[in-house]
Amino acid sequence: MHSFPEPAVRLVEAMSAAAAADPARAIAFQGAPGCNGHRAALEVAPDCLPLPCFSFEDALEAVKDGRAARAVIPIENSQHGRVADIHFLLPESGLFIIAEHFLDIHHSLMALGDGPFTAAYSHPQALGQSRHYLRARGIVPMAYADTAGAAALVKEHGDPALCAIAPKIAAELYGLKVIEDNVEDAADNTTRFVVLARAPLEPAAIDGTAMTTFVFEVKNVPAALYKAMGGFATNGVNMTKLESYQKGASFAATMFYADIIGKPGEVAVDRAIEELAFHCKELRLLGSYPLARARG
């Protein structure tokens, strides 16, 4: 499936047309109108023209093709961890991170009727963030490409035994009834989004504290990762995230995704990255950008 449910199509067409008329103001996001990516785009730039895209790849392609100046992509959630495939997609996109944004996540259960419900459709992240709620009620989680699209799908099917987990605004957009608000399992549920563009920010132009994101693959020698990380410790550079993921199907090459506090041009950061590069087969900077929320 590579298209939106029919109830969302008209909204998508209208928003796409507006973005095409002024791509410099357009921000691409993954999902149907009313999803959390839509909310994040409007919080990042209230005067933007949100451009709905069916997949993360489509949103990134919109920026690469010039149909949007920026994309807003979720990268991790406080409750459910990193968003699947993002660590692969960001380096491959050729785009650069220019900002981060934290969005408070509140899910609503919505449907055509009052239930009981046999299945709930939503994005896998939203289903994971509401898994205790669903299990307690015997509702089977059903994965869909995005939260608001799931709401449109429930509307399209017309089955009162189906429901969706989505932002409350989706119920208004697609004519569904909100059964219960705040069905997420954690009250402090938060998703971190990154803003991507074709050109990086110049590190020297970033005022205040910066964050730098990069991916790397260490050489296949004993203690390579330990040695690669040593430069950050000896230079006093705070690494706030380090995650591994497999590159390809051979399981022979492990890539690492990392966030550090600081930016190129700072002596400590330059020394740490230089030492890291010495121990790496591959190192790619994904961007430096203003720190939106203090770590630690």
Task: Answer yes or no: 96 catalytic.
Answer: no
Residues whose CB is less than 8 angstroms from the CB of residue 127 and which lie 6 or more positions away in sequence, other chains included:
120, 134, 141, 142, 143, 165
User: Do β-strands 210-218 and 280-290 pair in parallel, antiparallel, or remain unpaired?
Assistant: antiparallel
Verify whether residue 216 is a known catalytic residue.
no
Nearest to 104 by CA among 124, 129, 136, 127: 129
Closest CA to 62 of 97, 25, 23, 96: 23
Please identify which of the residues 4, 117, 191, 216 carries the catalytic annotation: 191
Amino acid at 18: A
In sequence order, the 6+-apart residues with CB closer than 8 A to the CB of 85 are 56
Catalytic one of 54, 96, 193, 232? 193
Catalytic residues: 191, 193
